[in-house]
Structure 1
Amino acid sequence: MIPPTTPRATYRFQFHKDFTFADAEALVPYLDALGISHLYASPITTARSGSTHGYDVVDPTRINPELGGEDAFRSLVAALRARDMGVIIDIVPNHMGVAGGKNAWWNDVLTHGEASEFARYFDIDRREKLVLPILGDPLAETIASSALKVEQVAGRYVLEAYGEHRLPLRDEDQATAATDDIAALIDRQHYRLASWRVANDELNWRRFFTINDLAGLRAEDPIVFDATHALYFRLYAEGLIDGVRVDHVDGLTNPAGYCRQLRARLDAIERPAEAPAGPAYIVIEKILAGGEPLAKDWAVDGTSGYDFMEQVTALLHAPGGAEPLANLWADMSGRSADFAPEELCARQELLAWQFDAQHRRCVEAFVALARSTPDCDGLTRGMLHRAIERLLWVFPVYRTYGTVEAAPSADARIREMVRQRVAEFVPPGEDMVVDRILSWLAGEGPGNAPLAAEAVRKFQQLSAPIAAKAVEDTAFYRYGRLLSRNDVGFEAARMSLDIDAFHAAMTERARDWPSAMLATATHDHKRGEDVRARLAVLSEIPDLWRSRGEHWFELAAPYADGVDPADTYMLLQTLFGAWPTNLRAANPEALSEYAERIVAWQEKALREAKLRSSWEAPDEAYETRCHDLARALLDPQRSAAFLGDITALVDLVAPAAEANSLAQVALRYTVPGVPDLYQGTETDDLSLVDPDNRRPVDYLAREQMLATASDSKVALIARLLALRRQYPALFAGGSYEPIAVAGARAEHVIAFNRVHDGKAVRCVTALRSAGRYVDEVDASDWWADTALSSGETIADLLGTSAVSVVVMDAVVS
């Protein structure tokens, strides 16, 4: 039996000041009625005031008062426990929020410098003053403009900037701070004020990705680990939580060591008799590249589900759409039909720009290592710079996990893949530099062990953010073959996943990771699960989509002057994919509301792409042209023909899109793992990237849908969760057994059994079946002779439905 701390099914809440523990407590009966076993909470520790997500933690030692504080959290847990439900919390060990002057640990470092007891907490280069890139202009100009002032707060003098930042001053300056020359006063501090524009080049502390407000923590330090985890251990010891989801585990110095330590500490805690028995449930936010395994010796239950989201989404796409949609993208946009050139360009640009300081410090670490090693005296700074740069251009995974002592065996395949990929970029005669760096990453290189550890750490903590920012947050906004294949953890270069490969992945999951999370929507997704489900239909009808897309381009032309064709085409895909259910041209108010959602997405997409606008230097004139185009297309007075045409296509593919949606649901709740339901997505999830995917949820409507079974998606979720509640051992530990399918439409159906202790659940799900609906053929005729290996025909099993899930006595073959 799986221990009670392992969830049967989770429901993710995003907590903030407008959705508190009390709000969640009121929804506990609904979650119970739906069939959820565990509430899965976004970070509950004290975050920056007004935080909408909780990852900018300023105090990890107490529960956020904006969410209701510890008393309200205890009340929520009591309501859950009364219904035999539990809590999993999201924790953030990699970084803290340092903006706004509310982080006491960071403020102490600013006040006392290296003498601060908290100096060891943050990943800071101590060879120079800590750089604070918070100014709008260079320091001299800022001082001249009187934007910096000294004021008194709670009996101490602080430096106030722009009315927003309040920075502590040294103890030695308190007596004279009010009368000192401000330039001289600033010069004496333990930090150096600078323009925000210098951060990419001069920052001397590790930040989270490219966010200057989030400072990296040194969780590898036992003192830091204890201080930042004390609250979590107490909550677990008191039976208030059952486990954790670890945010951005790849940012840590030693993810494997961290996870093992976390497991050991949690499982050594004696829980109250009334609390569910351990071991603790631990999952990690880990992006796995195609073919990259999750190490089995990390002592975790698996990932938080991005890998499954990629697999199930790819399964919905038809392989035949890859080439025609790539050609259409190239024709429409004038950009590459393939993803690889976009990824390479983005990696090159971001490494040379946003990660320049981190890159140079990585090179410096390897230079120091090389200089300490007698047989490396021929390795120059330039050689090491070029080798590291080119390795990061082609690195196929977030990072490797070797230490000075050793490297896991799985890293060897990654290093060999890197060696092959980088060959075309290495200058003549410098292959040996690449080989030497890879040997250090393998824990086999020569030289001073502490210097080697530092160099390897800097490389590993640079390769992960390069992958995240260059691929997911840049190239994914530049490449538009089919936007449903561009999401967190996805392989945009791959259009689809065949059924046998999906079966193999699920068989492996049953064997190795039966308790890993299964997600199809998250707080970080770029497009909602039902946006992806609808767009996936286009992979089945590329010719029809080309004709519609070309026609829409013509209709958009009068309003698209000065808008890049690539941005127009991605807009058209987005308008179609996220089109709200039942939205019609006769409802101008709803069209206007949709337009503003699209405009918000557009702004983020354009700035993340960094081609024609950016967060650093927004091109407001260009953005306005794009926004005007979106609003014009959604204006019934100006675009009646377009609106009529797009709604007709949305209606045409609606049955196929719904079939895809229900297939995702069926697979999420029947394959091995713990299904997670992101807030509100029990009904149509037609959301876009945040903040759109974090909008308020109408729970009253969902409660009514659940009570009346008036929504097919909600009804299917409730039915499958009821089965999981009735047969917990079968779903938690049952084997995964693929069922062979034969016949004319064998590639359009997936079937399998989950078998345990004499019982089986059989799942049969339609896939890529747009032909059933778009071609307007009779459903039973469309399936023709397609049948399971047992002889049961798909026409009889599914009829006009998309999913069949039944419980039966286990069949022993």
Structure 2
Amino acid sequence: MTSARPAPVVPTATYRLQLQPAFPFAAAAAVVPYLASLGVSHLHLSPVLEAVPGSPHGYDVVDHARVREELGGEEGLRALARTAREHGLGLVVDIVPNHMAAVPRHNRALWEVLREGPASAYARWFDIDWEAQGGQVLLPVLGGPLGEVSEDLRVDGDVLRYHDHVLPLREGTGDLPLPRLLDAQWYRPVWWRLARTELNYRRFFSISELIGVRVEDPEVFEATHAKILQLLHEGVVDGLRVDHPDGLADPGAYLERLHEASGGRWTVVEKILADGERLPDAWPVAGTTGYDALRHVDGLFLDPEGAGRLRELYGRFAAPQADRGGDWAATARRAAYGVLSHELATELDRLTRAAVRVCAASPDPALRDRAPWALRTALEELLVRMEVYRPYTADDAAAVVTAEAAGEARQAFAVPQEAGAVDVVRALVLGRDPGPAAVEFRTRFAQTASALRAKAVEDTAFYRYVPLLSANEVGGDPGRPGVSPDAFHAYCARVQRDWPVSGTVVSTHDTKRSADVRAALAVLSECPGRWAEVLAQVSRAGEAVPDGQTAWAAWQTVFGLGPAAPERVREALLKHVREAGLFTSWTEQEPPYEEAVAAFLAAGPCGTPGERVAALRDALEPHVRANVLGTALVHLTMPGVPDVYQGTEGEYRALVDPDNRRPVRFPPVDPGAKGEVTAAALRLRRRRPDVFGAAAAYEPLAAEGPAAGHCLAFARSGEVVTAVTRLSLRLAEAGGWRETLLALPPGRWADVLDGEREFTGHVRVAELFGRLPVALLERVGPVR
């Protein structure tokens, strides 16, 4: 008779640490006492398995069987776990099932595949199309066409060297002349630019240095998860964060296998939900990592009317450049077309070949006689119209690839008969044919769709459409960035009912801007006129503006970031213009344009004119503070398990990576009011887990009076009340709180942030927010 499995440990709150060689396990152990005192229950560690040497993030795994030596190895991780346990903390770790680093000299499994080809025991590990490229794996590692760099290729014993690249030679081929030697390998080193159209292995988005792993194969799953599962079963690790499940062939089946193998441990998935999209009910997980929560929290502190006015001002300021104005959807779609024709062209080709194979083998005459170009066009037109990352089952495919989208897609064809390819492709996506070719097509379609959404929206359109930078966040909708209190309460009620221990975040290693930067930028939605006035002043300062879109983004960046070293702004804006891809890009860099951007930043936003923007920020500081504290408190007390990103318990202003992965100081030098609010909320969660957990309740509380809409409040299990100020600048302009009241639930309520105060009944909001623009109350004594 087997014993029952223990119930999984559910964190009350996690604290994300970015491990790297400069911050290994021992450094994490050193800050455990501080983090325990802060009030979290678990450390949330970035990937811990062996990665490319020197990797600052660990998502480029090379060996799933070993804990990363640069971090201290397995003994270092176990020592960290022991230290954490001694202080009442557990560990949650980030795992990366979708991909590995395509660096053969460090990745033994890939090395063996390149040496032995499809016969290798590791060939099933990687998602390689052996039918393409003459049966060779295309490796885009050369700095130029082969004829220009062949002298840099040299045989060294049983390996082929090209600068830092080391590749295995097929047995018995080392003595061949170079052309014949290359033809004899199971791989073909080529100019890196060929990856765009010729690559024949699945990768992470468009990053050729990360090769897709086939964890849908049971043997591959076992091999790539054995160490993590061992750490789970031995009590070193308590829970998991799953990176990028959308890249997997069958996320649902993978999560089922992981759930069974892990014993049902608390697991959250990095699933980006579009507005209105639901996490699949069948997934055996606690929920998402929390970008859906981020969107709803951010939206509370943004004025939709002012955001609309900013769009108008932005359109005039940035005109007549392309991709400007007020149409977010059009910008995203244009970006998607560009990504499919450039970064993901090889993925679209492979998907087209899969469609051709299904049609050619189908017994249904309606699917026959479709030209590959027509199928490719139909795929392109349907993919760019998807508003979520991917379908998961045949049941939800119809809601993802809609009849309306198909109707629009047909308009891309000049000949009506050719437009029938759209119906063919949609039928294949919605189909339930269990045949291998049909399953492969549906799988490739879903994987390509998720890569497209990420590259087109997160990595391109977010950098082209910038009326309000705070709205351009992972999981966000810049076209509709505001969230009403009613919509927020409805969201929280759904989370508490359906996914009560899902993750929640407001800052992560992947956010474009930290929560505090976004909180400052959101204030601009309350004063678009003042922003326009300041921008008009600084724009007359005589600096050369590279283009209106970049200038607008740069001025908002320095407003949101506040005082900072100019190089931080320069690095972030250089990434901004390359990601936007309008005047320069990562692969087609335009030095004159990039130099013009740097000169503009030095003379304008980072120079004397920037002082006017700084003065506006100073004038708005009370309202920035209200947003910062409100965001923090709502995040820490709403339904779900909050994840606190390193350093964000105090004021934390960071831009896109690598800026947001800089080392932080523990504890913060001056955590200020935010530190006070964060620690109070975290300690309350740890002390009263029942109030916030799976069996807890969520109850909206409505204020009454002339400024009722500026008070967002809710109760947790009738025992804790959160109240925050929203749109505080609009509130001040309207005359303040005046006689606005908040009706508390029955009983006496102690102010957790000020132990000297208690409240009962109907409380004047002005009194409730006497010292801070937020309040956290705990019931004291029985209800009478």
Counterpart position of 2:303: 318
1:105-504 alignment runs, 5 A limit:
105-127=109-131, 128-143=135-150, 146-152=151-157, 157-162=158-163, 164-173=164-173, 177=174, 179-267=175-263, 279-334=264-319, 335-374=324-363, 375=365, 376-402=367-393, 407-409=394-396, 412=399, 415-416=402-403, 418-419=405-406, 422=409, 425=412, 428-429=416-417, 432-444=420-432, 449-504=435-490
Cα shift at 1:677: 0.5
Matched letter for residue 140 of structure 2: P
Q: 1:411 to 1:244 in 2, by over 3 A?
A: farther
Counterpart position of 2:640: 673
Deviations 1:492-534 (A, max 9, x none): 1113011100000000000011111110000011111111000
Q: Tell me, which stretches of 5 or more residues in structure 2 are unaligned?
A: 1-5, 745-761
Counterpart position of 1:768: 727
Counterpart position of 1:725: 686
Cα shift at 1:645: 1.6
How many pairs are equivalent?
751
Deviations 1:396-433 (A, max 9, x none): 1000012xxxx245853663564466465465345643
Secondary structure, aligned partner of 1:219 = coil
1:564-643 alignment runs, 5 A limit:
564-580=547-563, 594-633=565-604, 639-640=607-608, 642-643=609-610
Secondary structure, aligned partner of 1:783 = coil
Contact 1:326 1:338 in 2 (8 A): no
Alignment partners' CA distance in 1, 2:403 and 2:109: 42
Matched letter for residue 782 of structure 1: G
Alignment partners' CA distance in 2, 1:243 and 1:435: 44
Matched letter for residue 139 of structure 1: L
Counterpart position of 1:584: none
Contact 2:48 2:93 in 1 (8 A): yes
Alignment partners' CA distance in 2, 1:29 and 1:624: 47
Secondary structure, aligned partner of 2:94 = strand
Counterpart position of 1:586: none
- The answer to whether the aligner puts 1:33 opposite 2:37 as a matched pair is yes
Cα shift at 1:553: 1.3
Contact 1:560 1:568 in 2 (8 A): no
Cα shift at 1:682: 1.3
Alignment partners' CA distance in 1, 2:782 and 2:585: 58
Secondary structure, aligned partner of 1:171 = coil
Counterpart position of 1:559: 543
Alignment partners' CA distance in 2, 1:139 and 1:5: 55
Counterpart position of 1:87: 91
Which of residues 689, 701, 707 is equivalent to 1:739?
701
Q: 1:44 to 1:729 in 2, by over 3 A?
A: same
Matched letter for residue 422 of structure 2: V
Alignment partners' CA distance in 1, 2:678 and 2:444: 44
Matched letter for residue 723 of structure 2: V
Counterpart position of 1:587: none
Counterpart position of 1:648: 615
Contact 2:19 2:71 in 1 (8 A): yes
Q: 1:78 to 1:800 in 2, by over 3 A?
A: closer
Contact 2:197 2:346 in 1 (8 A): yes
Contact 1:138 1:195 in 2 (8 A): yes
Contact 1:401 1:411 in 2 (8 A): no
Contact 2:306 2:527 in 1 (8 A): yes
Cα shift at 1:807: 1.1
Cα shift at 1:129: 1.1
Deviations 1:772-794 (A, max 9, x none): 55x5x8xxx51123223553332
Q: 1:410 to 1:213 in 2, by over 3 A?
A: closer
Q: 1:572 to 1:643 in 2, by over 3 A?
A: closer
Cα shift at 1:797: 1.8
Cα shift at 1:627: 0.8
Q: 1:671 to 1:111 in 2, by over 3 A?
A: same
Contact 2:382 2:401 in 1 (8 A): no
Alignment partners' CA distance in 1, 2:413 and 2:87: 61
Counterpart position of 1:52: 56
Q: 1:421 to 1:68 in 2, by over 3 A?
A: farther
Contact 2:240 2:268 in 1 (8 A): yes
Secondary structure, aligned partner of 1:186 = helix
Alignment partners' CA distance in 2, 1:371 and 1:158: 42
Matched letter for residue 596 of structure 1: E
- The answer to whether the aligner puts 1:24 opposite 2:31 as a matched pair is no
- The answer to whether the aligner puts 1:545 opposite 2:537 as a matched pair is no
Cα shift at 1:548: 1.1
Q: 1:21 to 1:243 in 2, by over 3 A?
A: same
Alignment partners' CA distance in 2, 1:579 and 1:443: 53
Q: 1:191 to 1:643 in 2, by over 3 A?
A: closer
Q: 1:413 to 1:345 in 2, by over 3 A?
A: closer
Contact 1:314 1:497 in 2 (8 A): yes
Alpha-carbon RMSD across the aligned residues, in angstroms, is 2.0
Deviations 1:596-623 (A, max 9, x none): 1111111111111111111102111211
Cα shift at 1:450: 1.0
Q: 1:694 to 1:810 in 2, by over 3 A?
A: same
Q: 1:515 to 1:499 in 2, by over 3 A?
A: same
Deviations 1:244-275 (A, max 9, x none): 100000000000111111001111xxxxxxxx
TM-score, normalized by length of structure 1?
0.90
Tell me whether 40-49 or 795-804 shows the greater mean CA deviation: 795-804
Matched letter for residue 479 of structure 1: Y
Identity over aligned pairs, percent = 39
Counterpart position of 1:787: 741
Alignment partners' CA distance in 1, 2:439 and 2:506: 37
Q: Tell me, which stretches of 5 or more residues in structure 1 are unaligned?
A: 268-278, 581-590
Counterpart position of 2:751: none
Which of residues 47, 56, 66 is equivalent to 1:43?
47
Which of residues 774, 779, 782 is equivalent to 1:808?
779
Counterpart position of 2:511: 525
Q: 1:717 to 1:4 in 2, by over 3 A?
A: farther
TM-score, normalized by length of structure 2?
0.93
Deviations 1:141-196 (A, max 9, x none): 221xx1101114xxxx210002x1000001222xxx2x431222112111111100
Q: 1:46 to 1:38 in 2, by over 3 A?
A: same
Alignment partners' CA distance in 2, 1:721 and 1:185: 62
